[in-house]
Structure 1
Amino acid sequence: MAKHQTPLLDELEKGPWPSFVTALKQQAETKPECWDLLGQLELSYKDRITHWKHGGIVGVFGYGGGVVGRYSDRPDLFPGVEHFHTMRVNQPSGMYYSTQHLRAMMDLWEKYGSGVTNMHGSTGDMILLGCRTESLELMFHDMTHQLNQDLGGSGSNLRTPSCCLGESRCEWACYDTQEVCHTLTQKYQDELHRPAFPYKFKFKFSGCPNDCVAAIARCDFAVIGTWKDDIRIDQDAVKKYIACDPAYPADGGAHKGRDWGKFDIQKEVINLCPTHCMKMDGDKLVIDNSECNRCMHCINVMPRALRPGLEKGATISIGAKAPILEGAQFATLVVPFVKVSKDDDYETLTEYIEKIWDWWMEVGKNRERVGETMQRVGLPTFLKVMEIEPLPQHVKEPRSNPYIFWREEEVPGGWERDIVEFRKRHAA
């Protein structure tokens, strides 16, 4: 395949940063289709429209998801990307790979595909970019039989569950994110590979409120670690932070090499508390835990002095999405605290999940995420479906509607019954 002139893309090679253009040119030395990939992208920059054709369902036998079809609308100019399908590969929990496994995966991808990868996609999968239709089954067969490696999710199905490193590396983790992620991935194989939902559905599991996988912003069912009791305080360590002891650097030494000046607990911790629940009482740090919203800022700044409480679990928030047109929305808090335990095979979580699915598959519109369905029907209706009593944590802001409407079964009698009868008469 001929090399294409790419003056616009060449501009992206200038400057001090690594460039994907340079990497693709290097890959094109052994995989000539990458020249056509660069050529088509150059044409897209010039025409200011994409030249990936819409439509065309492609996949592997027995799976409705896992492969994203990509076809060029200019195969006459760029035959190497006439078919350039994406394969989504289900990553291990926490993205722990052995070098042996990675090398074996890359050997297969060099054999059957373009060799271009995205490590990792925003959902979490290992993304393999560029495979012809006739090579998909061969790649899938060798990947599953030789490496025991499965495809992830794509389309209107459960997308590949994703989690943070959890208890394997992080001292703040409030539950075992990797175990939950692995267990539910195995449990919901059918939902993962055979699209049956109105639209995509994502799980993400963060071990603590730092939310390192951005669950609250990007997924339909966010399980974010938290604690129910008081933040643990080591007052001696607090004093050492205030005294700027070299063994107690603020932020855990994350800014080592730069002089940020003397540590000021009032300025850098107490004044930045979003709920103003902290103060110094003499040389003691005092926290009003009833006002704490678990933002983690104080713990991150003074990790040797403050730790999460011992009564650990998770918060469940539902309905995040980040569409381009309507704008992003965070997930809505639905369950403030739930125990996350392997003892019951995570039955509490799966009950919530399946209750959502049963309802959403019945009332959700085509290409409508759970969060959009919740917005359409209203949070009170959704809480009723979930059989959850409304809590103060569910209230985003005081309501502006001055009218209160009661269901008849909620009215005990007396003047309240008269109101109901009055409304019935006037409704007619």
Structure 2
Amino acid sequence: MAKHETPFLDELENGPWPSFVSDLKQQAEVRAKNEKGVEFQIPQDCVDDLLGVVELSYKHGRTHWKHGGIVGVFGYGGGVIGRYCDQPNLFPGVEHFHTMRVNQPCGKYYSTEYLRQLTDLWDFRGSGVTNMHGATGDIILLGTTTPQLEEVFWTLTHDFNQDLGGSGSNLRTPADCLGTSRCEYSCYDTAALCHFLTNEYQDELHRPAFPYKFKFKFDGCPNCCVASIARSDMSFIGTWKDNIRIDQDAVNKYVEQDPAYPANAGAHKGKDWGPFDIEKEVINLCPTGCMKFENKELTINDEHCTRCMHCINVMPRALKIGKETGLSILCGAKAPILDGAQMGSLLVPFVEVNADNDYEEITEIIENIWDWWMEEGKNRERLGELIMRQGFQKLLEVTGIEAQPQHVAYPRTNPYIFWKEDEVPGGWERDVDEFRKHHLR
């Protein structure tokens, strides 16, 4: 029987959606029965007390957790998030209830054997409560005591060959989509690049030295399945620089509603969306209007294509990504902290991904950005906020990248263009003379 009454939390179990409250109640019951006979290393009723302290937070309208300060494993400054309850007399089972972040495998591929090992370890040395890949991407192990941290860390690294993830003002755990391992749309091997950068920057991952957090995320194509464009300081999004490949016979199969060619790759099979209309569902939804279908032939003005992927998603058997594939690098995305949410800004329109040279072009860009950010960034200032404060032109200067049309978000809203003196042969005096000659008649 539960120790604590939870009327506020009980309300969260109503409605059609799954509730974390139900999961916690189930785990509390499992620990109370302990049918496996596990010799728990932290209090058996810790999950029950967790429900109690969360209920009290709902009742009081404020948190009853206090940050644990410096708590972690030897040699690492990140990977452990210390939490202590400010009501230890009421909830002794969660007097300290630390979270450990574990570096997830690329593409989140697991064997069932590994998952059993991981959950058995956390049942033994933790609360048994996990959060598999929330916003951080990591495996989140929720709730253990300080003496168990080193024990869990030893088992992960020595027995499971698994490392902790990132927390604090450091490089956070890189995260990627399935990439070429499963997806026909992927333009580069996301797992290979994610694995390389994770190993390359171990110091930055485990020993916080940045002004604030920094995130890499890797999307194999512009569908952006890990939402890198919105959630990472540096996102790597697959793209192509040649033309979309068109199979005209397959296009007409879609138009003729051949049962073997369902739109949207056969998604939403249980719902009748009516007859397929290429004008309504593809042509008119192209954001740049670069497509037309005439005389049973689909044409695309690829110079205007922005790689939105909509047409490819709707007619995947008729349209394919180009063959000259690589990735784009965008910088500065973040969720609201100081100046509100912002999306990534395009820095490098196209990089040919090549593991043979150890991704040298990519690591050079990363390290130039970090040098600038660590020198100029304020405390708790994300890269995107520094770019807003000092300007995108400064980012181009520190990375040595020449300005390109793709860097322009929208045309200038005033007619004046200003040049630095060393950027124009002859200096500004010549420009003033030219301006007077042509415009002040």
TM-score range, shorter chain: over 0.9
Partner of 1:5: 5
Counting only pairs closer than 5 Å after superposition, residues 122-161 of structure 1 correspond to structure 2 as 122-161=135-174
Q: CA deviation at 1:35?
A: 1.0
Number of aligned residue pairs: 420
Q: CA deviation at 1:411?
A: 3.2
Q: 1:172 aligns with which of 177, 185, 189?
A: 185
Contact 1:209/1:224 (<8 A) preserved = yes
Distance, in Å, in 1 between the alignment partners of 2:419 and 2:363 is: 32
SS at 2:279's partner residue? Answer: helix
SS at 1:333's partner residue? Answer: strand
Tell me the amino acid that sits aligned with residue 378 of structure 1.
G
Q: CA deviation at 1:121?
A: 2.3
Q: CA deviation at 1:413?
A: 2.7
Tell me the amino acid that sits aligned with residue 45 of structure 2.
P
Contact 2:369/2:395 (<8 A) preserved = no
Partner of 2:365: 352
Structure 2 unaligned runs (5+)?
Answer: 32-43, 434-441
SS at 2:304's partner residue? Answer: coil
Distance, in Å, in 2 between the alignment partners of 1:159 and 1:335 is: 22
Partner of 2:133: 120
Q: 1:324 to 1:355 in 2, by over 3 A?
A: closer
When normalised by structure 2's length, the TM-score is 0.93
Partner of 1:335: 348
Contact 1:120/1:126 (<8 A) preserved = yes
Tell me the amino acid that sits aligned with residue 155 of structure 1.
G
Q: CA deviation at 1:381?
A: 1.5
Counting only pairs closer than 5 Å after superposition, residues 60-139 of structure 1 correspond to structure 2 as 60-139=73-152
The one-character-per-residue Cα deviations of 1:271-291 (angstroms, maximum 9, x if unpaired) are: 000000000121100000000
Q: CA deviation at 1:28?
A: 1.2
Q: 2:378 aligns with which of 365, 375, 380?
A: 365
The one-character-per-residue Cα deviations of 1:155-187 (angstroms, maximum 9, x if unpaired) are: 011100110000010000000000111111111
SS at 2:184's partner residue? Answer: coil
Tell me the amino acid that sits aligned with residue 27 of structure 2.
Q
SS at 1:190's partner residue? Answer: helix
Tell me the amino acid that sits aligned with residue 5 of structure 1.
E
Partner of 2:236: 223
Contact 1:411/1:417 (<8 A) preserved = no
Partner of 1:260: 273
Distance, in Å, in 2 between the alignment partners of 1:147 and 1:415 is: 64
Distance, in Å, in 1 between the alignment partners of 2:423 and 2:407 is: 21
Distance, in Å, in 2 between the alignment partners of 1:83 and 1:99 is: 30
My pick for the range that moved more, 293-302 or 141-150, is 141-150
Contact 2:222/2:237 (<8 A) preserved = yes
Q: 1:51 to 1:342 in 2, by over 3 A?
A: same
SS at 1:74's partner residue? Answer: coil
The one-character-per-residue Cα deviations of 1:173-205 (angstroms, maximum 9, x if unpaired) are: 000000111111111111110011111111011
1:269 aligns with 2:319: no
1:281 aligns with 2:289: no
Contact 1:84/1:132 (<8 A) preserved = yes
Partner of 1:20: 20
Percent of paired sites with the same residue: 70
Q: 1:292 aligns with which of 271, 289, 305?
A: 305
Q: RMSD between aligned alpha carbons?
A: 1.5
Tell me the amino acid that sits aligned with residue 17 of structure 2.
W
SS at 2:191's partner residue? Answer: helix
Contact 2:78/2:165 (<8 A) preserved = yes
1:32 aligns with 2:45: yes
Partner of 1:319: 332
Distance, in Å, in 1 between the alignment partners of 2:27 and 2:12 is: 17
My pick for the range that moved more, 54-63 or 372-381, is 54-63
1:192 aligns with 2:182: no
Q: 1:11 to 1:414 in 2, by over 3 A?
A: closer
Contact 2:83/2:97 (<8 A) preserved = yes
Q: 1:174 to 1:415 in 2, by over 3 A?
A: closer
Distance, in Å, in 1 between the alignment partners of 2:317 and 2:150 is: 52
SS at 1:290's partner residue? Answer: helix
Q: CA deviation at 1:257?
A: 1.8
Partner of 1:426: none
Partner of 1:243: 256
Q: 1:418 to 1:342 in 2, by over 3 A?
A: closer
Distance, in Å, in 2 between the alignment partners of 1:418 and 1:289 is: 37
Contact 1:84/1:129 (<8 A) preserved = yes
The one-character-per-residue Cα deviations of 1:49-72 (angstroms, maximum 9, x if unpaired) are: 111114522110000000011111
Contact 2:239/2:328 (<8 A) preserved = yes
The one-character-per-residue Cα deviations of 1:308-333 (angstroms, maximum 9, x if unpaired) are: 00000001000100025632100000
Distance, in Å, in 1 between the alignment partners of 2:81 and 2:344 is: 26
My pick for the range that moved more, 324-333 or 152-161, is 324-333
Tell me the amino acid that sits aligned with residue 374 of structure 1.
I
Q: CA deviation at 1:142?
A: 1.2
Counting only pairs closer than 5 Å after superposition, residues 42-57 of structure 1 correspond to structure 2 as 42-57=55-70
Contact 1:204/1:213 (<8 A) preserved = yes
